[in-house]
Structure formats: structure tokens, C-alpha cells
A and B are shown apart, each in its own frame.
Chain A
Amino acid sequence: MVKKFFERFYVALILIFLYAPIAILIILSFNGSKSRAKWGGFTLKWYRELFKNESIMNALYTTLIIAVLSALIATIIGTAAAIAINSMKKTPRTIMIAITNIPMLNADIVTGISLMLLFVALRYTLGFSSVLISHITFNIPYVILSVLPKLKQLNPHTYEAALDLGASPAYAFFKVILPDIFPGVLTGFFLSFTMSLDDFVITHFTKGPEIHTLSTKIYTEVRKGIKPEIYALSTLMFITVLLLLIIINRKNAEKKAPVSRV
């Protein structure tokens, strides 16, 4: 059918548009010459150089640590907050949710600047901790956003059933509620981790002169001319993300396909 052909063609065009730049990066990572337009033979040397490059590795290390820590802390605070919000009456709940929406609706640049000014006003040295605090701040709303729907879907009577059977509130929470909302908690963590990894603007304003994350490191390289090691790094990152997505989707597909016993 003609319609189907055009539809497929359109999707293909969009996909080419989306992936062309990424393909370029990957190809260039194997380019023997440093030039961006001339091919100088296939090589793996940029990958080797990448791992030898201290400043890039440091930035990578910093990025990962901040991502993991901020995601972890944000998940704990956010999950607790979500549970609290879920049990609030309408008015306080609306207020809490409205304020939670602020960092997500606000432009990156405003969030970054406002946090920077806060630290400056408090005479707090900008560095690792200020970045960590900032990341936690913009991560918490995503955790709440992931956990709250799971809480909404929760059957309130399972908690009561646990109490009825003799469990203390804390025991009931950890054994009944937490396992039920765990997918939401996990999603929140994963989402926070991702947002933290990818952030540039907020980190840019709150990092101070000493440390670098990957994003800020790459930004400094733009002016000087991108080192091919960065292409190698981006290729590795892409492959990692691709593998992760495939694994997760496979796992989901297994979960969704019901195991028939009868």
C-alpha cells in the first residue's frame, strides 16, 4: 500500500536524521587522522589514549561518583517524600506537588544560577559537594514522579492486612509496601542517575574551578578542538547505553510474556 510505504519512508528519514551525527562520532573514533573530514585509516589508538588521559578519566570518575551518590540520596529522600505526599490531604499535597514541579519546569540555567548564588551568598566553596547537592536537588522530583504513581496503584488494604496479621508498622512497610513500590523506586534511581550523568548547565554553574564532570570537560574542549579521545569515549558510552537498553527490554519482554502453568 502506498500509504504504508510513505509511512516507513518518513520513519526512516527521521531515524537517519537522529543517528547520522552519532554515526559520525563512532566512525571518527576509529579515524587514524585527527582531521574531521579526512579518513586516515582505521585505528584503535584513540581508545588507548583515552584510558591514558588522566584529566578525562578523572572527569569520568567524578561524573560517575556524583551520579551514583546523588541518585542514591535523592531516591531515599524522594521515596520518603512520596509516601508522605500520598497520605496527605488535598491542600498540602497540591502545594508539595506544585513545589516539586518547579525544578522540572524551570529552565536549567535559572536552577543552576539560583543554586550558585545560594552557595556564594553562604560563602560556601564551590566544588564537589556543591555539585552533589545541586544534583540531588534536581533528582528528587524525578524520584517522587516515579514512586508516586506506584503508590497510587497500591492496594491500601494490603498494609492493613499486614497489621491485622500482627506486623508492626515498620515491618509492614518494609515487607509489604516497599516491595510493591520497588519498581517505581528503581525507576526513580535509574532516572536520577541518567539525569545526573547528562547534566551540563547546572554543573557548569555550581562546580567551581577545580573539578570537572564529563560534560563540563567536553565543553572546555570545544573551543580548543575536540580530541579524538572524546570520540572514543562517546562511542563507548553509546554502546554501553545500547546494551543496557537491550538488556532491560529483553527482561521486560520476559516479564510480560506470561508463564502458563495449566
Chain B
Amino acid sequence: MNTENVSNAKTQKLTSHKNGDGIVGIKSAKWLSLPYAVWMIGFIIIPLIVIVYYGLTTVDNRFTLDNISAISSPINLKALLMALEQSLISTIICLLLAYPLAMILSKSRMRSSSFIVMIIILPMWMNFLLRTIAWQNLLERSGIINTVLKFFGLPPMNIINTPKAIILGMVYNFLPFMVLPIYNVLIKIDKDIIDAARDLGANSVQTFLKIILPLSLPGVISGITMVFVPALTTFVISNILGGSKIVLIGNVIEQQFRMGNWHVGSGLSLVLMIFILISMAILSKYDKEGEGSGLW
């Protein structure tokens, strides 16, 4: 059991393997999947159907599209657009920060890099809420950073409760999810290939652009998936670091449910799901082989 494997698993999705002999001769093996099949249908598929049902009906169980069109109300639309904007920015920042880090880590020798990877992974294992609250401490008007700035006579910074704070929170929480998939793909690149490119005349920049970057793309796609979707749908980060001022689509949906407006909430969720599906579709175009960046 390897901690790297465990943490990497958080950043993967399953692939369908091409040669599937399986365990030869276990005829009854198929039936082992029965409990899971039942569970899946009961707790994955049916709930999705339920959410679709609630999204398309009113309280009196009549069909309606009002719940979905609720997205077009000014508040909701603003929430959706802000969420899109902030999650896109966060994803890009994560990518820009993570890629160089993954490259540096993949170059170092085996023993020390496993230690460094462990250090990068460690914050991931702290409770997600606590990590975000810690940033709240740092960023508050009377928080740590401002206290230090005051000590040096510098003007206080006013990031808390602004979009910048939320983006900071998103990047902080999701950075490891971007680093690991890219790192996993980079270390799998056969060193001979790099040597071959150099042998054929490519300098470092050319080797990077023509060989390393294209080969690392599956990891980049995986990382983007792992960051963009959670960032888009979060409500915790915007609650803690945005106060009640910043309302993202996640907050809107959560509020609806808290107030008992399940139908409207479901409708908005359906809209959100459509966005997720669209981004998945776009991303899978670049991921031709259909493989994630598994470590195993």
C-alpha cells in the first residue's frame, strides 16, 4: 500500500482495459457483481432519475420547465457566470503553477522525490474545511497577514470576501489535484525518448514543446477535470472566504435546498450538470486514448 497510490487514486478515473481475459474459469464470477449492481442502480442511477424528476416538475407534480429556466433570473445567472469565471481562472492558475512543479519533481532522483511528493500530498489529507478556514484566518481584516503588514507599516490588504479570496481558496485546495496527474504522466515518459530527441538535434525548448508537452497532455486533461468541476460547484469555499457577499451557483443551489425549494434546486442542478457534461465532452476530445493518468 503506497501513499502515493492512494492519493493518486483520488485523481483518476477508471479505464476499460483492452485485453480482458480476467480470471480464467470462474464461471460464477459474474454474479459477484450482483450486490454492486443492485447498489449502483439503487443509489447512483435512481437518485439521478429522481433529481431529473424533481427538476422537471412543480410541487404539485406537474411537468414544467420553470425550474430550469430559473437559471436565467439575474441572481442565478450572475451566480453561474461568476462560478464559471472563478473556476476557469483557478484552473488556469493551478495549471500554470502545477506544471513546472511537476516537471521539477519528475526530474529529481527516485528517493528524494518520493519524499517531496509525500510533502505535496500531505495537505490534501487535512480536512478540507479546516484548510479553507485557515486561509480565512490569514486573510481576515484583523487576520495574520494584515497584522504582519501592520507591523511593517504597510497598508492592510483587503482580499477577504472578494472574488480574489475565493480564487485563492480554490487554487489552494485543488493544486495537488493538478500536480499529481501531470507528475504521474511525466515520470512515465521513457528517458530514452528524451535522449532520442536530443540525439536528433533538438535543444531543451524544442524537446519540451515537441515531445514532453504532447506526451503529458493526458495528465493535464486529467488535472483540469479534477480541478474545474469541484471549483465550479463549490459552495463551501465561497461561504467561508466570500462571506455572504459572493454567491456562486453552488451557494444558490444549496440555499434553495435549505429553504425547501427542492424543485427549483433540482432544476438548477440539472443546468449545472449540463455544464459539467459539456466540459467533460470538450476535454475528452483531447484525451484521445480515453485513458486517465493512473499510476498503476
Contacts and interface: CB of A to CB of B under 8 A. Distances in A.
A/B contact in complex, CB under 8 angstroms: yes
Interface of A: 7, 10-11, 14-15, 17-22, 24-25, 28, 36-38, 77-78, 80-81, 83-90, 93-94, 96-97, 99-111, 113-118, 120-121, 133-134, 136-137, 140-142, 144-146, 148-154, 156-157, 159-160, 163, 169, 173, 177, 183, 186-187, 190-191, 194-195, 197-198, 200-201, 205, 214-215, 218-219, 222, 226, 230, 234, 237-238, 241-242, 245, 248-249, 252
Nearest to B39: A77
A37 B144 contact: yes
A115 B47 contact: yes
Contact of B272 (A7, A90, A107, A118): A107
User: Top 8 A-B pairs ranked by shortest CB distance?
Assistant: A21-B134, A84-B33, A87-B22, A114-B47, A81-B36, A107-B233, A149-B296, A80-B32
Nearest to A156: B24
29 contacts: A11-B104, A14-B120, A18-B123, A22-B126, A36-B137, A36-B140, A36-B142, A87-B29, A87-B30, A96-B37, A107-B229, A109-B272, A110-B276, A113-B257, A113-B265, A113-B266, A113-B269, A120-B262, A150-B296, A156-B21, A191-B9, A201-B235, A205-B257, A218-B130, A218-B133, A219-B236, A237-B130, A238-B126, A248-B2
The residue among A37, A187, A200 with the most chain B CB atoms within 10 A of its own CB is A37
Given A187-B9, A237-B130, 10 more contacts: A10-B104, A22-B131, A36-B137, A77-B36, A99-B40, A140-B39, A149-B294, A157-B24, A159-B24, A163-B25
Given A21-B138, A148-B14, A80 B36 contact: yes
The residue among B101, B126, B140 with the most chain A CB atoms within 10 A of its own CB is B126
Nearest to A150: B296
A203 to B, nearest CB: 11
Interface in B48-62: 48, 50-51, 54
B229 A7 contact: no
B23 A83 contact: yes
A140 B35 CA distance: 11
A55 to B, nearest CB: 16
B20 to A, nearest CB: 6
Interface of B: 1-3, 5-6, 9-10, 12-17, 20-26, 28-37, 39-40, 43-48, 50-51, 54, 97, 100-101, 104-105, 114-116, 118-123, 125-131, 133-138, 140, 142-144, 146-147, 172, 175-176, 225, 229-230, 232-233, 235-236, 239-240, 250, 253-254, 257, 262, 265-266, 269, 272-273, 276, 280, 294, 296
A83 B32 contact: yes
A87 B22 CA distance: 4
B26 A87 contact: yes
The residue among A7, A18, A137, A238 with the most chain B CB atoms within 10 A of its own CB is A18
Contacts of A205: 257
A18 B175 contact: yes
A215 B127 contact: yes
A114 B133 contact: no
A87 B229 contact: no
A164 to B, nearest CB: 11
B129 A218 contact: yes
A237 B197 CA distance: 47
Contacts of B137: 21, 24-25, 28, 36
A96 B23 contact: no
B101 A10 contact: yes
B276 A107 contact: yes
A195 B280 CA distance: 23
A25 B3 contact: no
Contacts of A242: 122
The residue among A21, A25, A149 with the most chain B CB atoms within 10 A of its own CB is A21
B235 A215 contact: no
B143 A36 contact: yes
